């Protein structure tokens, strides 16, 4: 399976159907996973959600058409799957920085967003060792730091250091997300298996997990293992994610990255 070849096929399908309603379930079938996993994989590989990618391509094309063909805004709204002209105009101005009515006078303001293309012959093949584990329900206590995809790499180690100075080493960490598809990080948690005054109680239910081990507890090493896992392993696997946070389990000088999966 060459995930990049399959993604190119999906991109071409999107291009041919920008003026039609695009069903994410149909896109997911093209790489043999469910809709939830497909959206997660697409976002991880491209650093953009599938919905935002499609929206950007539509608005990019709409800008060119308004300039070259001088179409009516209401027609463009219908053509590119917006409920009405107001919704289209609002999205258009947010994307391009100008209103649809200003395109003919300010074509230099139009933003171009080209379609994605993946180099199929440059797919890396990295050996990520993993195993499926089933873990019983566990009760933990922790504090969190609200963060983002861009900042978690710096803020997670900082939170660890801050709490470690006061309460000692923590056996777990947890990443929570803003939405079910887990596209945008919401917070990073440091968790203890003992009650600590002022800490929030977190119950992790019994579940099955993909466990990937890093022979280190250094933040940079853990982040690299996570990157390799999501970039190289997830696109070619058939497991479907479960709607639970991800865990980091620190023990015996190693770290187990735990990704929840459906039974």
Tokens of 235: 């696109």
pLDDT in tens, the chain (263 residues): 578 888 899 999 999 999 999 999 999 999 888 898 899 888 888 888 999 999 999 999 898 888 878 788 999 999 999 999 999 999 999 999 999 999 888 877 888 888 888 877 654 444 455 777 889 999 999 999 999 988 998 999 999 999 999 999 999 999 998 876 677 899 999 999 999 999 999 999 999 888 888 889 998 888 888 877 776 666 555 567 888 999 999 999 999 999 888 86
Say if CB 143 and CB 164 are below 8 A apart.
no
**Which residues belong to CATH 3.20.80.10 in the chain?**
130-261
Distance of CA 160 to the CA centre of its chain: 24
- H or E stretch including 175? strand 172-177
Question: Among residues 32, 54, 59, 29, which one has the least CA distance to residue 43?
Answer: 54
Is the entire prediction scored with pTM above 0.85?
no
Distances 191 to 91, 167, 214 between C-alpha atoms, Å: 41, 11, 19
The span from the first CA to the last CA of the chain, in angstroms, equals: 23
Q: Where in the chain are all domains bearing CATH 1.10.10.60?
A: 3-109
Q: Which CATH number fits domain 3-109: 1.10.10.60, 2.40.30.10, 2.60.40.1260, 1.20.1090.10?
A: 1.10.10.60
pLDDT of residue 43: 87
- Contact residues for 5 (Cβ-Cβ < 8 A; gap 6+): 118, 120
Q: What is the CATH number of domain 130-261?
A: 3.20.80.10
Q: What 8-state DSSP symbol labels residue 229?
A: I
198-225: pLDDT as tens digits: 999 999 999 988 888 888 999 888 888 8
């Amino acid at each position: 399976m060459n995930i990049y070849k399959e993604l190119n096929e999906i991109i071409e399908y999107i291009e041919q159907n920008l003026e039609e309603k695009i069903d994410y379930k149909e896109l997911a079938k093209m790489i043999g996973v469910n809709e939830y996993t497909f959206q997660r994989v697409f976002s991880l590989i491209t650093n953009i959600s599938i919905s935002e990618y499609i929206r950007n391509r539509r608005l990019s094309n709409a800008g060119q058409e308004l300039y070259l063909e001088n179409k009516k805004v209401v027609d463009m709204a219908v053509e590119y799957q917006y409920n009405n002209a107001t919704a289209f105009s609002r999205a258009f101005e947010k994307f391009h920085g100008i209103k649809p009515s200003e395109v003919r006078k300010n074509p230099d303001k139009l933003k171009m967003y080209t379609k994605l293309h993946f180099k199929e012959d440059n797919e890396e093949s990295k050996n990520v060792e993993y195993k499926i584990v089933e873990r019983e329900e566990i009760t933990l206590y922790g504090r969190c730091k609200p963060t983002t995809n861009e900042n978690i790499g710096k803020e997670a180690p900082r939170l660890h250091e801050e709490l470690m100075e006061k309460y000692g080493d923590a056996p777990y960490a947890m990443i929570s997300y803003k939405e079910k598809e887990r596209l945008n990080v919401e917070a990073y948690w440091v968790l203890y298996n003992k009650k600590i005054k002022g800490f929030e109680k977190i119950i992790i239910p019994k579940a099955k997990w993909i466990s990937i081990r890093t022979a280190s507890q250094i933040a940079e090493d853990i982040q690299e293992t996570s990157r390799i896992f999501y970039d190289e392993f997830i696109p070619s696997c058939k497991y479907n994610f479960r709607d639970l946070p991800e865990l980091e389990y620190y023990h015996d000088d190693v770290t187990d990255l735990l990704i929840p999966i459906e039974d």
